[in-house]
Chain A
């Protein structure tokens, strides 16, 4: 049973436009959400996170939106740059003291010139 779902395995966006990556979760106990970026043959790199007490968190070109009622979050990248081409993983955890981080299956973002 996938608790964190990324239904789009791939996404292609033109350079300069907005990239929107989506993620849904099923476990209502999750209260902390993260996005990671991964290049081939490298480990995932933390990008941005959001606590469930917020509905938006912004860091430069990256903004994460959280809709708790819909159990949905999204990552917006604007403007998209060629270096943004990577696999993006959505992840979630609960705030308890002993909680694993559950990852989605990833979305491969390609930025075309």
Chain B
């Protein structure tokens, strides 16, 4: 059973370009979370999705950032017109359920975005 798969592991974009980060959750998991970690900081919640639904996007910047988790395929975090401040590690996590005793979320290895 493969874990949470994120790709690419490293992504370099020039200012103004678009960045697409992919996350394939663990098999059987229908809940996906995206987090951002800036250098020397903790994990900041961005968005929580279930299949075809955004449940909570309170941590997502209002502009340039969007996320989706389609019925088929991976979850995508999309950053348009990237700026240097977007440089960070972006982690995806998945869980089978929300709430209760099975709320552990399993993380992928992350995508390190560098904006030059």
Contacts and interface: CB of A to CB of B under 8 A. Distances in A.
Interface string A19-36: 000000000000010101
A85 interface: no
Interface residues of A, number: 27
B4 A43 contact: yes
B12 interface: no
Contacts, number: 73
29 contacts: A32-B99, A32-B100, A32-B101, A34-B103, A42-B109, A43-B93, A44-B43, A44-B91, A44-B93, A46-B106, A49-B103, A89-B42, A89-B43, A93-B103, A95-B103, A96-B98, A98-B48, A99-B98, A99-B99, A100-B45, A100-B48, A100-B56, A100-B58, A101-B33, A101-B45, A101-B105, A103-B44, A103-B45, A104-B42
Given A32-B100, A36-B107, 16 more contacts: A43-B108, A44-B91, A44-B93, A44-B107, A45-B107, A46-B105, A89-B42, A89-B43, A93-B99, A98-B48, A99-B98, A99-B99, A101-B93, A101-B103, A101-B105, A102-B45
